[in-house]
Amino acid sequence: MKLLEILQNIDRRIIYLILALSIILPLLFPIGFPVDITQNTQDVYDLVDKLPAGSVVLLSYDWDAASAPELLPQAEALTRHILDKKLKLVAIALWNQGATFADRVHNTVAPEVGAVYGEDYVNLGYRPGQAVVLNSLARDIHATFPEDVARTKTASIPMMKDIRSIEDIDLVISLSAGDPGLRTYIEQIGAQYPVTITGGVTAVSVPGMLPYLQSGDLVGLLAGMSGAAEYENLIDRPGLGLGGMDAQSISHLVIIAFILIGNIAYLAGGRKKK
């Protein structure tokens, strides 16, 4: 009974410490668990991979700094794949911080694959209005985004000459941490226009997206950090996502252990009467 009592009364700070260690140690001493590719990630990869060179992809940054550990690696992996395949990339944002992250991803990836701003990719930035923005850009991208983030006229950007409305876009990818985001794209763009919609979300949002996957309104889905890790595997460029997976494994075990310990003590200690 002594052990049970101790187990029942571990200090909050010790719990915090154990959790921190369960993430720090695997980062310091990587174990290298193999990452399996799930079908949803494979579907996203195939969609991008099968597009012929010169096709236009709209990549929407619908997240903030709080979700960067999950969605930044996804954005990097996708951008690398898109530019590598010589597709045209149009980045926009439905969350205002997204526009800054788009710049950052472009600055990292573009020089490596030799992509040129204005010819291969462009960052049109953020506009407020949520669903309004999507309906507006579907009709006329140039009127919705008259300037890019550097205040160059959209009309004067070479690649944008032929990209004027949703008809000119071959694939929509929304990386989203909530609303407005992937769901807004499915409801406002997918329901109205024939373009295929795919995306990546934080793990929290995954359950809410599953019905759309089953109904076919959404094709493929990257799920949080593990989705990013799988995509990095597929394009053969290990990055932040893969690096974090060992820590994920161990910290999950720790959480499960906490639930078990708490409940064993609870059940053995006699449940309190209701």
Partner 1 sequence: METVGIWIGALCTLAIFSFLLRENPFFRTAEHLFIGLAAGLGIFYGYQTIVSNAWTPLFNPDPGEARKWFLIVPLVLGVLLYTRFLKKGKWISRIPLGFLVGVGSALAIRGVIGASFMSQIVATMELPLWHTMAKFKIDAILFILGVIGTLIYFFFSREQKGPLKVGASIGKWVMMLAFGAAFGNTVMARMSLLVGRIYFLLGEWLHIL
Partner 2 sequence: MLEEIFVVNRLVLFGITVAIAVIMLIAIRRAKKGKKYFIRRIAGLEAIDEAVGRATEMGRPVHFSPGIASLSEETAAQTLAGLAVLGYVARLTAKYDTDLIVTNRMAEVLPITEEVVRQSYLSEGKPENYNPDNIIFLSDEQFAYAAGCMGIMSREKVAANIMMGAFWAESLIFAEGGFVAGSIQVAGTANTHQLPFFLAACDYCLIGEELFAAGAYLSQDPMQVASIRVQDIGKVAAVLLIIVGTIASTCNWPVIIDFLAKFAS
Partner 3 sequence: MRREVPIVVTFVSGILFLLDYFIKIPYVSENVVGQFLDWAIIVAAFALILGAANIFRIHIYKIVKGKKEWWNSLILLVAMLVMAVVPIIWTQQNAVYTFLFKNIFENLNGTMFALLAFYIASAAYRAFRVRTKEAAVLLVSAVVVMLGATPIGAKIWSGFPEYSGWLQTIFTTAGMRGIMIGASLGAIVTALRTIFGIDRSYFGGQ
Q: Which residues bind partner 3 (CB under 8 A)?
A: 10, 12, 15-16, 18-20, 33-36, 38, 64-69, 97, 99-100, 103-104, 125, 127-130, 132-133, 135-136, 139-140, 143-144, 149-151, 203, 207-208, 210-211, 213-214, 223, 226, 245-246, 248-256, 258-259, 261-263, 266-267, 271
Q: Which does 184 bind (CB under 5 to 8 A by kind): partner 1, partner 2, partner 3, none?
A: partner 1
Encoding tokens for residue 118?
């204005």
Encoding tokens for residue 149?
């983030």
158 binds partner 2 (CB under 8 A): no
274 binds partner 2 (CB under 8 A): yes
Beta strands in the chain (DSSP E): 56-62, 88-93, 121-126, 171-176, 196-201, 222-223
Nearer to partner 2, 54 or 208 (CB): 208
Nearer to partner 1, 9 or 215 (CB): 215
CA distances from 45 to 63, 70, 136, 233 (A): 21, 17, 28, 11
Residues making up the chain, counted from first to last? 274
Nearer to partner 1, 85 or 202 (CB): 202
The amino acid present at 199, given as its one-letter code, is: G
204 binds partner 2 (CB under 8 A): yes
Encoding tokens for residue 5?
């009592």
Encoding tokens for residue 69?
């550990």
Nearest partner of 87 among 111, 119, 46, 65, judged by Cα? 119
CB of 48 to partner 2, least distance (A): 26
CB of 86 to partner 1, least distance (A): 30
Encoding tokens for residue 137?
């850009």
CB of 107 to partner 3, least distance (A): 9
CB of 47 to partner 1, least distance (A): 19
The amino acid present at 71, given as its one-letter code, is: L
The β-bridge partners of 117 are: 121
205 binds partner 2 (CB under 8 A): yes
Q: Using CB under 8 A, which of 208, 211, 238, 269 touches partner 2?
A: 208
211 binds partner 2 (CB under 8 A): no
Residue 61 near residue 28 (C-beta atoms within 8 A) = no
| Other Cβ atoms closer than 10 A to 32 | 9
Nearer to partner 1, 50 or 104 (CB): 104
Binding site for partner 2 (CB under 8 A): 204-205, 208, 274
